[in-house]
Amino acid sequence: MGPVRSRIASVSVTPVAFEDPPLLNVVGVHQPYALRAIVRVRTDTGSVGLGETYGDEAQLQRLEAVGRAVLGHDVYDLNGLWRKAADALGTGSADAGASFGGMLQVDSAVATAYSPFEVACLDIQGHETGRPVSDLLGGAVRDTVPFSAYLFYKWAGHPRRPDDDWGEALTPDQLVVQAKRMVTAYGFDAIKLKGGVLPPDDEIDAMRALGEAFPDHRLRIDPNGGWTVDTSVRVASELADVLEYLEDPTPGIEGMAAVARETDLPLATNMCVIAFEHLEPAVRANAVGVVLSDHHLWGGLLRSRLLAGICDTFGMGLSMHSNSHLGVSLAAMTHLAAATPNLTYACDTHYPWKTEEVVKPGVLDFVDGSVAVPTGPGLGVEIDEDALGTLHEQYLSCGIQRREDTVYMQSVQPGFEPNTARW
Ligand SMILES: O=C([O-])C(=O)C[C@H](O)[C@@H](O)C(=O)[O-]
Ligand SMILES: [Mg+2]
């Protein structure tokens, strides 16, 4: 019998919108719906693989272009898949990157559009070989993957809509209430606050209140580059006994290196090291102690394993970044984290903030803050066709086609300016 050679027979890209609370960050506020795209790859052998990525309109166009280019491609040839994605989108100067929500600048649009196709091909490989994706990545080194509670300052509700059941969180006490609910429901033992929203002293107070309420939890704050170097150094010193790491206090490799010289607290990033070419200057400058990987942005699961190897080689820790996402992404994140020995920090996830889903329930449950690595073939999750249809209809009717935290914030607070190293 010759080798299995399943070829891509068709691709579907389904944009979906799911409800998202008014979560505040340095560039503004989350819109009432978060957008994702569900990619389904079908082979001539009848297998189906799943991928999930951003659903902004420019990303949908890239996904359609890659989808056309990979028809007929062997799902076991992932190097060839990358080449076809790169050719379809244009490399070099045309690979101008992508921006999501005005905060997340992505260096390579190719990496971001290739990622869901790679995940879908690995899902198919898993189905055809009867192995979970974690096995295809080298084998799970842990049965469960720990995630962290991802706290946000937030309004009680979106303007002109009823309040959501999380309520307002603008004070330390309100954040502690939010944390208690999330920790009780999910069992997380690490807690991250999305900062850069209030003046730094208020955010220091919030972290202290969280430290007092959760003395045994590991705490992090991420102001997304909202502070100057001097402010970052001051916050690092004030919170040295509270934090496990300080994430992106200030923009850029040079700024982070300047902060790193003045503190022993590890600095983490998903902003100044977002592509392979940033690793060398960051290592040389000793700018970061922890890199937040993200397979959606780094070009899939295998490239994320490569990133993990580089971090290991150069003595940098590894954590995982998250944007608003659904279950296909959570499954991929879980397999990747399970098969990455040096991913020792609890991964970020926005999962608790969502109330809607596209995968069938029962596989991705949080127990003691962790998700058990699915043991079935492939990613181990299945699409709920009715739910996918509903969220696609919601995409069509919600009127949102791209993430625009700043524009949405300015519709509520006209003078608002995104806060880069403002404080
Ligand atoms: O760790 C991070 O930098 C993020 O997760 C960035 C995201 O855009 C997050 O801040 C958000 O969704 O508001
Ligand atoms: Mg971050």
8 A C-beta contact, residue 203 and residue 195? yes
Proximal ligand: closest to the CA of 222? 2
- What's the rounded Cα separation, in Å, for the pair 214 and 208? 10
The pLDDT score that the predictor gives to residue 96 is 56
How far apart are the C-alpha atoms of 165 and 144, rounded to whole Å?
29
In this prediction, residue 94 carries a pLDDT of 45
Euclidean distance between CA atoms 154 and 169, whole angstroms: 5
Q: 411: exposed, middle or buried (C-beta count within 10 Å: 0-12, 13-18, 19+)? A: middle
Please name which of 135, 270, 100 lies closest in space to residue 192, comparing C-alpha atoms: 270
Closest ligand 1 atom to 26 CA: 10
Q: Determine the Cα–Cα distance for residues 310 and 283; give it in Å rounded to an integer.
A: 10
Atom of ligand 1 nearest to the CA of 292: 1
Distance 240 CA to ligand 2 centre (A): 19
| Cα 185 to ligand 1 centroid, rounded to whole Å | 22
pTM (whole model) above 0.95: yes
Q: Whose CA is nearest to atom 13 of ligand 1?
A: 25
How far, in Å, CA of 136 to CA of 45, rounded? 20
Fold classification of 8-133+385-402 is: Enolase-like; domain 1 (3.30.390)
**Residue 43 alpha carbon to ligand 2 centre in Å:** 37
Please give the Cα distance from 20 to 258 (Å, whole number): 36
**Which residue, judged by its Cα, is nearest atom 9 of ligand 1?**
323
Instruction: List C-alpha distances in Å: 276 to 105, 271, 291, 308, 418.
Output: 14, 13, 11, 11, 27
Token pair, residue 329, equals: 């992404």
SS (H, E, C) the chain: CCCCCCEEEEEEEEEEEEECCCEEECCEECCCEEEEEEEEEEECCCCEEEEEEECCHHHHHHHHHHHHHCCCCECCCHHHHHHHHHHHHCCHHHCCCEEECCCEEECCHHHHHHHHHHHHHHHHHHHHHCCEHHHHCCCCCCCEEEECEEEECECCCCCCCCCCCCCCECCHHHHHHHHHHHHHHHCCCEEEEECCCCCHHHHHHHHHHHHHHCCCCEEEEECCCCCCHHHHHHHHHHCCCCEEEEECCCCCHHHHHHHHCCCCCCEEECCCCCCHHHHHHHHHHCCCCEEEECHHHHCHHHHHHHHHHHHHHCCCEEEECCCCCCHHHHHHHHHHHHCCCCCCCCECCCHHHCCCCCECCCCCCEECCEEECCCCCECCCCECHHHHHHHHHHHHHHCCCCCCHHHHHHHHCCCCCCCCCCC
Question: Known catalytic residues?
Answer: 194, 321
Domain boundaries, the chain: 8-133+385-402, 135-372
Atom of ligand 1 at shortest range from CA of 321 = 1
Q: How far apart are CA 297 and CA 274, in angstroms?
A: 8
Distance from the alpha carbon of residue 247 to the mean position of ligand 2, in angstroms: 6
Tokens of residue 311, six digits:
């971090």
The answer, yes or no, to whether ipTM is higher than 0.85 is yes
Q: What kind of fold does domain 135-372 have according to CATH? A: TIM Barrel (3.20.20)
Q: Which of 212, 149, 143, 221 is nearest to 185 (CA)?
A: 149
> Which of 153, 194, 245 to mutate to test ligand 1, by most ligand atoms within 8 A of the CB atom?
194
Say which ligand is closest to the CA of 354.
1
Give the pLDDT of residue 97.
Answer: 63
Q: CA 132, CA 335: separation in Å to the nearest integer?
A: 8
Distance (Å, rounded) from C-alpha 86 to C-alpha 92? 9
CA-nearest residue for atom 12, ligand 1, is 323
Q: Which of 67, 40, 53 is nearest to 332 (CA)?
A: 53
Residues in the chain: 423
Pocket probe mutation, ligand 1, options 30, 193, 224, max atoms within 8 Å of Cβ:
224
Ligand 1 atom showing the smallest separation from residue 27 Cα: 13
Token pair belonging to 402: 């791209």
Q: CA-to-CA distance for 29 and 405, rounded, in angstroms?
A: 5
* Residue 84: partners with Cβ closer than 8 Å, 6 or more residues away: 66, 69, 70, 73
What burial class does residue 300 get, using C-beta atoms within 10 Å of its C-beta: 0-12 exposed, 13-18 middle, 19+ buried? Answer: buried
In this structure, the residues whose C-beta lies within 6 A of any atom of ligand 1 are 23, 25, 101, 103-104, 194, 222, 224, 270, 321-324
Could you tell me the distance, in angstroms and rounded to a whole number, from the CA of residue 342 to the centre of ligand 2? 19
Ligand 1 closest atom vs CA 224: 3
Which of 20, 23, 29, 104 to mutate for ligand 1's pocket (most ligand atoms within 8 Å of CB)?
A: 104
Residue nearest to atom 11 of ligand 1 (CA): 323
Q: Which one, of 8, 6, 18, lies nearest residue 39 by Cα?
A: 8
- Residue 340 token pair: 């990455």
Ligand in nearest proximity to the CA of 322: 1
Closest ligand 1 atom, CA of 324?
12
Q: What is the pLDDT of residue 383?
A: 98
Q: What is the distance in A from the centroid of ligand 2 to the CA of 48?
A: 33
Closest CA relative to residue 204, chosen from 182, 232, 230, 229: 232
Those residues whose beta carbon sits under 5 angstroms from the ion ligand 2 are 222, 247, 270
Mean pLDDT per 10-residue segment, the chain (423 residues): 84 98 97 98 97 97 98 98 94 56 67 98 98 98 98 98 98 98 98 98 98 98 98 98 98 98 98 96 98 97 98 98 98 98 98 98 97 98 98 98 97 91 87
pLDDT at 234: 98
The pLDDT of residue 11 = 98
CA 321 to ligand 2 centroid distance, Å: 7
Name the residue of 323, 345, 404 to mutate for ligand 1: max ligand atoms within 8 A of Cβ. 323
| C-alpha 160 – ligand 2 centre gap (Å) | 30
CA proximity to 187, closest of 151, 154, 158, 149: 149
pLDDT at 93: 42
